Structure 1
């Protein structure tokens, strides 16, 4: 089984850039992101209509590319997690993790025995349909799988230290819109309470030897979270980046029209 090429870097606290994909589930997207320098792609199932059949196809488009396919599942439940891993996910992001017990169950779903309770399915997409020693496959799968626990509620923030202490949780990923909503300050990212929450997650992650992750939608966000210690960073959203690029060119056309009159 192919190893995860970014896990060691992420866990060492080195900056690793990638992307989250919400809308453009195209066969070329993986290559476009890889060519742009993204090291990982997280395909979103929580807020989109993305299903497992399309997810399997998207993961297949990552084969041979320098990009690690990951997924955000809708819930931290075994059927979502195990199936995504069987299809080839190298990492699983789980929303609204709020307790150590929940984090432990997520890790158990991601690991084969004796480390977890994941069911076996070899010779399929996750191991590129190849044969080989089952024991070695179990070891390789357990080693390469990344668990990204989203801290995005007031409950998760309260229990973040306990969640980070769970062995097998690799990344604490802040979902900033949800976190601000659950804190009662929706979208107020300049509020000192939100700033403190962001810093706390990064500090807790570092103390427990985990990484802190974030989806930064512009340069200002990237600079802000990098300064706090966030190192696994998804850049923008595909609809946002595409819309911004189109608006910029449309504005240039309009300026040119005015100048020609």
Structure 2
């Protein structure tokens, strides 16, 4: 009998089984060593960022392999809603995909379609050649692939906030992730993620997603703000990034050392 492989659970399934909000960290450096360090932190999930980081397809594969032995669920963010690119991310083994700048129901529908094979979606079939099926070591991958993936869409514009209920109601959207930084910028208050208007917009988007029965998360590097989002009902948060943590800690170390001079 040929060797068979089981895939790990995707992010949506982890959310369903969670008994508390999930804590995440970003992986932006492109370093497999740093990704593994983040995976050893105790974080529940890791956001491997293909949007704002110098991370290409080969690097994403290396990062996925680096974190695979650990419990943290990798979520890979594509740089843009693009069917061909999402296909490539899925084929290289990303199971949980985050799509930025989803502004409308139509955007959300396109994201979901890109995640699934026909007849449900439009994903191209190349599983025998791809890590996603472990080169056909996963039994009946084509028939079960839809159960092994999760689609997370980002709300990060006033238009998306207004359409949050429709976006969240799209069948196949497993979670909504709100980005206060881009939301603040698009509202004319760039860099002010705690601006009252931004906080109100985040709250409205969260309520719309929760009312639709969809898991909702928020990015918040301010720890107190992250706790407030959890208190308000967020199911998952992201509280820091590898490069940000390294930069902050290294500067603080040098500053503290020089105080002794």
Return the TM-score normalized by structure 1: 0.89
2:116 matches 1:98: no
Q: Please name the residue that 1:121 is paired with.
A: 126
Looking at structure 1, the residues matched to 156 and 73 of structure 2 have their Cα atoms a distance apart, in angstroms, of 24
User: Residues 107-140 of structure 1, C-alpha deviation per residue, up to 9 Å, x if partnerless?
Assistant: 0110123322212222421122343543xx2354
Aligned to 1:163, the other structure's residue is in SS state: helix
Partners of 2:157 and 2:186 within 8 A in 1: yes
Aligned to 1:213, the other structure's residue is in SS state: strand
Looking at structure 2, the residues matched to 156 and 241 of structure 1 have their Cα atoms a distance apart, in angstroms, of 30
Aligned to 1:180, the other structure's residue is in SS state: helix
Q: Please name the residue that 1:30 is paired with.
A: 35
Looking at structure 1, the residues matched to 119 and 188 of structure 2 have their Cα atoms a distance apart, in angstroms, of 42
Q: Please name the residue that 2:94 is paired with.
A: 89
Distance change >3 Å, CA 222–CA 249, structure 1 → 2:
same
Q: Give the CA deviation at 1:244.
A: 1.4
Q: Please name the residue that 2:153 is paired with.
A: 149
Q: Please name the residue that 2:180 is paired with.
A: 176
Name structure 2 gaps, 5 residues minimum. 1-5
Distance change >3 Å, CA 150–CA 111, structure 1 → 2:
same
Partners of 2:221 and 2:239 within 8 A in 1: yes
Distance change >3 Å, CA 5–CA 78, structure 1 → 2:
closer
Q: Aligned runs of 1:131-142 on 2, under 5 Å?
A: 131-134=137-140, 137-142=141-146
Q: Aligned runs of 1:217-256 on 2, under 5 Å?
A: 217-256=221-260
Distance change >3 Å, CA 146–CA 117, structure 1 → 2:
same
Q: Give the CA deviation at 1:88.
A: 0.9
Question: Which one of the candidate residues 52, 63, 80 is aligned to 1:47?
Answer: 52
Q: Give the CA deviation at 1:63.
A: 2.7
Partners of 1:108 and 1:116 within 8 A in 2: yes
Partners of 2:127 and 2:142 within 8 A in 1: no
Return the TM-score normalized by structure 2: 0.89
Distance change >3 Å, CA 27–CA 185, structure 1 → 2:
closer
Q: Aligned runs of 1:200-219 on 2, under 5 Å?
A: 200-219=204-223
User: Residues 197-229 of structure 1, C-alpha deviation per residue, up to 9 Å, x if partnerless?
Assistant: 111111111111111112221322221211222
Looking at structure 2, the residues matched to 16 and 121 of structure 1 have their Cα atoms a distance apart, in angstroms, of 33
Name structure 1 gaps, 5 residues minimum. none
In the comparison of the two structures, how many residue pairs are matched? 254
Q: CA RMSD in A?
A: 1.9
Looking at structure 2, the residues matched to 157 and 5 of structure 1 have their Cα atoms a distance apart, in angstroms, of 26
